[in-house]
Homo-oligomer: A and B are copies of this chain.
Amino acid sequence: SQTFTITVLPGDGIGPEVIEQAVNVLRVIEELEDVSFTLEYARLGGCAIDEDGTPLPQDTLDKARRSDAVLLGAVGGPKWDNNPAHLRPETGLLGIRKELGLYANLRPAFMLDCMVGVSALKEEVVKGVDLMVIRELTGGLYFGEKKRYETENGEVASDELIYHEYEIERIVRRAFEVARLRSKKLTSVDKANVLESSRLWRKVVERVAPDYPDVELRHQLVDSCAMELIRWPKQFDTIVTENMFGDILSDEASMLTGSIGMLPSASLADGNFGLYEPVHGSAPDIAGKGIANPTATILSAAMMLKYSFGLEKAANAIEQAVHTVLNSGVRTGDIADNKDEAVGTKEMADKIIAAI
């Protein structure tokens, strides 16, 4: 029997609650498949600031490096919002991405038929939407040199959007490979009419494209993409883009579905290693109430089974169970039409477990 070690980072806010349910789902998979999971708990974000004096303790990095994958709840909260940068939860998140080389952020945005009602968009526009935003996660505007200095005329601040050819190449190849397993349509998003980094991006995409002749490639400007995602999202399948553009566009794409409480994400390194987390945040306003939607975290665990452990069958079983439960009308408060009939975190997860 196979054994995988998972570093579990519950994090802050609703993080621990949704993680608990994802772990319950993993326990069920152990019963059904010839596999076992060793869980190593560690801290990231606000809880680590409080306990360890840093958002990314060395112990967390060590555990993550020794494990086969990382499962994260969510980090952040008002308590740490006014801290200096090095004592902020998101600094831990950015740090772990960089330290573990998690350069490929996969963010699916899909619309289940039974959920079209919750979207802000018209049914005919969003029904059947199924797209994947692949965001470069360890370069670009996030990680270039930052400056802050005084001049005679006041302060100046800057950030650098910088890409090396190899950074672009590896994310673009990954995107072509993902697109190949989906409907073979890849849109590369840049701002090549203005940015030098985008011109290099586009050049690398063009150089790499002939290796994937079966994938249909399109270039699109980021402003145009932001529009077209709203006008007719079904024209897109896989989108690949720079870190900052990807931050914006993946959030926009998520919201097309109206149900970000259901969307998972994967952040992959070379090889099989990856960190998996829900797209939603730590939602401090509902933390501890047992009403958070665990679906995104459970689907993140499913992505982990698929991308890091090669357990495609188990991953599909979880996804199917989620669809079945949602189809049957069970809803947590964030996606319920009728808030009175909404179920809690545990009940939602139990239904999913029962359906697996």
User: Residues on A close to B: CB < 8 A?
Assistant: 88, 90, 94, 119-122, 125, 141-142, 144, 146-148, 151, 153-166, 191, 193-197, 199-201, 203, 222-224, 226-232, 244-245, 247-249, 251-252, 254-256, 258, 260
Contact = CB atoms under 8 A, between A and B. Distances in A.
B200 A224 contact: no
A83 to B, nearest CB: 11
A156 B162 contact: yes
A201 B203 CA distance: 33
Contacts of A166: 153-154
A252 B252 CA distance: 9
28 contacts: A90-B193, A120-B121, A120-B122, A121-B121, A121-B122, A141-B141, A141-B161, A141-B194, A141-B195, A146-B196, A147-B196, A154-B164, A156-B164, A156-B165, A157-B199, A157-B200, A158-B160, A158-B161, A158-B163, A159-B160, A159-B195, A191-B244, A227-B255, A229-B252, A230-B255, A231-B255, A231-B258, A248-B248
B163 A157 contact: yes
Given A161-B159, A161-B160, A165-B155, A230 B227 contact: no
Contacts of A244: 191
Contacts of A119: 122
Across the A-B interface, the 7 shortest Cβ-Cβ residue pairs: A154-B165, A157-B200, A158-B162, A146-B196, A227-B255, A223-B251, A226-B252
B158 A120 contact: no
Nearest to A258: B231
B230 A159 contact: no
A204 to B, nearest CB: 8
Contact of A193 (B88, B120, B146): B88
Contacts of A230: 120-121, 230, 252, 255-256
Contacts of A148: 196, 199-200
A249 B251 CA distance: 12
Nearest to A158: B162
A238 B143 CA distance: 30
Given A157-B200, A162-B156, A162-B157, A251 B224 contact: yes
Contacts of A228: 255
